[in-house]
Structure 1
Amino acid sequence: MKKFAYFLFFLVFIANYSYSQGELEALKYSRNELYGTARSMAMGNAFGALGGDITGVSINPAGIGVYRSSEVMGTMGFQQNRAKVGDINRSVDDFNLHNLGFVGYFPLRNDVMPMINFGFSYNRQKTFNNEINAVGNGASRMIDYIVDRTNGANNGRGIDPNLLLVGEDLPDPFVDQPWLSVLAYNSKLMFPQSGNNNFYDPLNTNNETPLQEIILSERGYIDNYDFTFGTTINNVLNVGMALTISDINHSLYTDFLEDFKSGGYTLNNEIITNGAGVGAKFGVIYRPINSIRLGLAYHTPTWYSMSEIYKASIDDDLGAYVTDPNYKKGRTYSAKFTNHYDLKTPDKWVLSGAAVLGSNFILSVDYELTDYTNMKLSVPSGAYSNKNWYDIDNSYIKEDFKVASTVRVGTEYRFTPQFSGRLGYAWIQNPYNSDFSKAGDSSVSGSNTIYRMEGDTQYFTGGLGYRFNKNFYADFALVYQTQEDQLYPFPNLYAYNGDTRGELVIDASPFTLKNTSVRGLLTLGYRF
């Protein structure tokens, strides 16, 4: 052990509310996947106007008014996520409960409102199970990126090197100064300029181009719990509403390595995030004629209370390049910190239409609209911190994101009264402003600079259903998901003239990341 940052209690307390989140964290917990029962997934999740399925009820709570009996059901699923960068493949397998639900049917013996139904559903809305490995030679070094960020700190006035030292008697540098600057300075990746100590030069590595490597491991989930009630009016208009409770559990471990001919270093980050949130859903389904159903649903934002534990370190072995005779290879690492913040996800609208032709064929379409500029980060109520802390992050959100669309299409054909076949497709648009997506200059928080610019997502789905009798049924679905991202080791940096991007100063040379996922789902249900 070469170096360690010691911190006083009251400074750690301040740090609880001082570590800034960014636009990438907001997006990570706001963008969803397809989820639900095997029947719904086999039909591309296009269930907003159909109802009669617990996932359809989660998309549009008015769907609970379609039920004419009570039901209990559950879905188990196997999932394999695969990430490919160049010739390197990494995969993660997962077997879990994906869906669980109950609907209670309560007849009222009333011609206008013949029943009122109540329901509960659990859905694994998103998983974060990924292993990613990328290796290549970038156009710019991480060292240069860190120096550029450090020299531009404090409105271009740089940073006093005394504030970057770690030690028992100094102020907490992870509160007052950028994490990367502190870690890099104490690992000899940069040095004060001669005659201008507040500015820095990068370590001289004899113009060698380093081999860069990203190792990323991610685990976690977003779970939703819906409590729904609804009814039908004159057997023409279904109405419903739901209270939603959401739960986030997410862990991220990253290593970024730069290896030169005679040495190198590794930047490590560990972040564990938990959150709980609440929201609501409202919906209607209208049947102008018996074979046509039109649906409209509104999902409010989810208001999350978030907490995270994080730490970072750099392992350095740069003796061949460092001129300081007292240099020894070793490790610089932070203490373990806890941070709290609030997150508001964007609201969404879901427009749906379905044709139910006789008792054999169903065609259903959903169109979903989500305005990602409405994401918002904020300081928790009562926190000891500046209430305007996240203003710059929220301004980036407004500038860098856009309104994004999701289209879901599904069909079902009943070959016999017991046996059905299903097909579906879904497309989820990426949420980035086109200029931001091309520029790749995202604002990152803390010392974890690795991030993804996510592409459009496509789902190809299919499945089978079988009714053993009037009560018991089983559904199976197979879901193939594909998405191509740009994986950045750190953001691009530009020379700016006001708000206009100029010359590219730091070229991150992103990797192309190809993500695929295969899911097999089995739903068992009982109606009574």
Structure 2
Amino acid sequence: MKVNKIVSASLALMLGWGGTAFAQDEVDALRYTRYGLTGSARIQGIGGAQTALGADVSTIASNPAGLGMFRRSEFSITPGLGFSTSTGRVGGISTNDERNNVGVPHIGIVFADRQSNEDSDWRSATFGLSFTRLNNFNNRTSYRNTAGGQDPTIVEYFTELANLRGRTETDLDNEFDNGFTTMEGLAYGTFLFDFDEDGFAIPTYREGEINQAEEIIRRGSQNQIDIAGGTSYRDKIYLGASLGVISSDFRQERIFRETEASTNSDFTSLELRDEFRTRGTGVNLKLGVIVRPSDVIRLGATIQTPTLYNFNETYQRSMYSQFLPGETYNAAELPGEFSYKLTTPFRASGGAAFFLQKYGFISADIEYVNYANMRYSEDDDFSGNSSYFNSINDRISSTYQSALNFRIGAEGRYEVFRFRAGYAITGDPYRNADFDGKINTFTLGTGIRLNKYYADVAFTSSTANSLYSPYNFNDPSVFVPVVDIEDKLNTVMLTFGYNF
């Protein structure tokens, strides 16, 4: 198995225990750039295919040109319940984890001003404000593994870090006395390795099988507030623009453990704990158009500028070890803080909707985004050319590629009732990986439409696969555990709407 590809293309779980506590890497850039399914229950019930649809509150965030189709003002709110399941498989052992959360993925209000004079070319001026959840980060993943007696483990990984970086015993003694700042320093401080007479780092002696276990707990969300306006030209061409302000809050805690039962060595166990929290805000601009050449078909397109983010990150790591006959050692880094910027790629979408008279419609979208264009920069620089981030930006360019996201859905109508189904594919962002990076989403929905009120319910089910390795040696042929992870997210949401 090509472990170097696995580590560089891990979906969202790469530990990055390379000696820095910072979490800015290619995995984190993708986390804030790749969005889930968004919108009201009606829109999510049709797989999110709404670029050409218009006249839904969700259009504020997707294609603001759809605001020009409103004839009445409208308010809607969409509470939802998410059920996430993560299955980690390694060495024939499967571990399942579940996490549920309640939220409000969408709220929107539209103020429509329809011209009474139908002879006017410009027939509406509509303003909208919406709140949209772009990503739900709540998830828990764990796995268990047994390493054979001859297999190197994370202790050998720490030792290799010290040797590759030319760390000396004097150097690490100084870090021990003045505060830990590196991963190999934490391992040295908890007596997981020492130095031989030639100054070469060697791991503490262990014997027999090593049991490994890890928990990765993530919390938070990514949300966008949009302020938008739209208009209608002769009810044939609809134009709109929106300003989006994104807020992101992501927290992650990782706990890695190794234990040994043999009494022939003093080593008993170790625990590595890594915690960080990243909060940030970003801003983007979206322009959209919908063309209605006839009552049967609508064509839509949008472009969105790159999102410019400012992030602030706090982090801390600690390590614990235990040896016979009951000796324990602890080491911890001082809490740290770091600020940086991230620029996400330009996005473009196109769509078409076909209306089957009063019986419903079919809608389809395609979206383009080039993930290789994500760029980090220092806090006072948006150029992406700072020396600190050069190597990370190079890895982004070599790891990711452009991708196409597809969404298709349909709605059937019978009197006041609506029935919906949809399917979405979030394209594979990885240039070269040993797994399929697509995310597949199936959706179902139904609803009822009255004169002033409406209600919709939707169910969505997304599945994503990834491979993950907790550490990686300089020699890619050295064995490391590889975890096959399947993440599922099922969501139920209910939209209540009022026309006024």
Contact 1:50 1:364 in 2 (8 A): yes
Matched, 1:148 2:153: no
| Equivalent position amino acid for 1:352 in 2 | G
Query: Distance in 1 between the 2:469 and 2:68 partners?
Result: 47
More off after superposition, 69-78 vs 85-94: 85-94
Give unpaired runs (5+ residues) of structure 2. 1-19, 263-267
User: 1:286, CA displacement in angstroms?
Assistant: 1.3
Equivalent residue for 1:420? 418
Cα separation, partners in 2 of 1:35 and 1:454, compared to 1, 3 Å? farther
In structure 1, the residue matched to 2:73 is: 70
Kept in 1: contact 2:469–2:481 (CA 8 A)? yes
Equivalent residue for 1:40, pick from 43, 58, 63:
43
Preserved CA contact (<8 Å) 2:57 2:74: no
Q: Amino acid of the residue matched to residue 253 of structure 1?
A: E
Q: Secondary structure at the match of 1:351?
A: strand
Q: C-alpha distance in 2, partners of 1:220/1:164?
A: 36
1:165 Cα offset (Å)? 3.4
Question: Which residue does the alignment assign to 2:483?
Answer: 511
Aligned residues: 465
Q: Describe the shift of the 1:413–1:166 C-alpha distance in structure 2 as closer, same or farther (beyond 3 A).
A: farther
| 1:81 to partner: Cα distance | 0.6
Are 1:102 and 2:94 counterparts?
A: no
Residue by residue over 1:484-521, the C-alpha shift from the partner in whole angstroms, topping out at 9 and shown as x without a partner, is 2213212x3454xxxxxxxx243332211121121111
- 1:446 is matched with none
Residue 464 (structure 2) pairs with residue 466 (structure 1): no
C-alpha contact 1:163 1:173 (8 A) present in aligned 2: no
Matched residue type, 2:462:
Q
Q: Point out where structure 1 has 5 or more consecutive residues left out of the alignment.
A: 1-16, 321-326, 439-452, 496-503
Contact 1:51–1:57 (CA under 8 A) maintained in structure 2: no
Structure 1 residues 433 and 149, CA gap change in structure 2 (3 angstroms): farther
- CA–CA distance in structure 1, aligned partners of residues 68 and 443 of structure 2: 27
Which residue pairs with 1:411 in the alignment?
A: 410
Output the CA distance in 2 between the equivalents of 1:191 and 1:167.
14
The aligned runs of 1:368-387 (5 Å cut-off) are: 368-381=367-380, 387=386
Match of 1:338 in 2: 337
Q: CA deviation at 1:149?
A: 2.9
1:358 matches 2:365: no
Any conservation in 2 of the 1:484–1:513 contact (CA below 8 Å)?
A: yes
- The CA deviation at 1:132 is 1.5
Q: Distance in 1 between matches of 2:35 and 2:372?
A: 16
Letter in 2 for 1:353: A
AA in 1 matched with 2:252 = L
Residues 340-374 of structure 1, C-alpha deviations (whole Å, 9 max, x = no match)? 11111222111111101212121011111111111
1:124-163 matches, cutoff 5 A: 124-138=133-147, 140-153=152-165, 158-163=166-171
Counterparts of 1:256 and 1:348 in 2: how far apart (Å)? 38
The 5 Å alignment of 1:482-493 reads 482-490=463-471, 492-493=472-473
How much has 1:238 moved relative to structure 2?
Answer: 1.1
* TM-score between both structures, scaled by the size of structure 1: 0.84
Asked whether the 8 Å contact 1:37–1:54 carries over to 2, the reply is yes
State whether structure 2 residue 147 is matched by structure 1 residue 122: no
Q: Which residue of 2 aligns with 1:5?
A: none
Q: What SS does the aligned partner of 1:185 have?
A: helix
Structure 2 equivalent of residue 456 of structure 1: 438
Give the TM-score normalised by the residue count of structure 2: 0.88
Q: How many angstroms apart in 2 are the aligned matches of 1:137 and 1:68?
A: 64
Note the C-alpha offset of 1:424.
0.4
What is the rounded CA distance, in whole Å, between the counterparts of 2:364 and 2:300 in structure 1? 10
Alpha-carbon RMSD across the aligned residues, in angstroms, is 2.2
CA offset digits 1:56-114 (Å, max 9, x no partner)? 33111211112111111100111111112243221111111111001111234462111
In the alignment, the residues of structure 1 paired with residue 108 and residue 320 of structure 2 have an alpha-carbon distance, to the nearest angstrom, of 49
**1:316 pairs with 2:321:** yes
Residue 382 of structure 1 and its aligned partner are, at CA, apart by 8.1
> Secondary structure in 2 aligned to 1:275?
strand
User: What is the CA–CA distance in structure 1 between the aligned matches of 2:396 and 2:386, rounded to whole Å?
Assistant: 17
Instruction: Determine the C-alpha separation between the residues in 2 that align with 1:50 and 1:164.
Output: 62
CA distance in 2, matches of 1:456, 1:509: 23
Report the equivalent of 2:59: 56
Equivalent residue number for residue 244 of structure 1: 244
* Amino acid paired to 2:447: G
How far is the alpha carbon of 1:166 from its aligned partner?
A: 5.9
Distance in structure 1 (CA, Å) of the matches to 2:21 and 2:44: 42
Deviations 1:288-347 (A, max 9, x none): 222111111112121111111111111101347xxxxxx942211111111111111222
Q: Work out the CA distance in 1 between the residues paired with 2:68 and 2:405.
A: 25
Corresponding residue number in structure 1 for 2:220: 220
Q: Work out the CA distance in 2 between the residues paired with 1:474 and 1:424.
A: 18
Residue in 1 aligned with 2:427? 429
Query: Letter of the aligned partner of 1:431 in structure 2?
Result: P
How far off its partner does 1:204 sit?
2.4
In structure 2, what residue type is equivalent to 1:470? N
Map of 1:291-302 to 2, 5 A cutoff? 291-302=296-307
Report the AA paired with residue 344 of structure 1: T
